[in-house]
Amino acid sequence: MPLPNRYRRVIRIGPVKVATYYTRHGVDRHTAACTAPGCGFSADYRDRAAAELAARTHHCSA
């Protein structure tokens, strides 16, 4: 999936990065994406808290 280059408030929690961006519809979206090689975890959330929680509780499956 192509990632928009409009990330704000990027933080790192362990290997996972959390960022907030606006969709092209002007809607806030929050992404948690793991940067560990071979993991590939990434997900979008409506709530920043949900994205941060997912990042905190993420365990790489690779």
* Site of interaction with Zn ion (CB under 5 A): 34, 36, 39, 41, 60
Residue placing its CB nearer to Zn ion in the complex, 34 or 51: 34
CB of 57 to Zn ion, least distance (A): 11
How many angstroms separate the Cα of 61 from the Cα of each of 8, 34, 43, 51?
A: 27, 11, 15, 18
| Residue 35: CB minimum distance to Zn ion, A | 8
Of 14, 16, 22, 56, which Cα lies nearest the Cα of 40? 16
Name which of 41 and 45 has its Cβ closer to Zn ion: 41
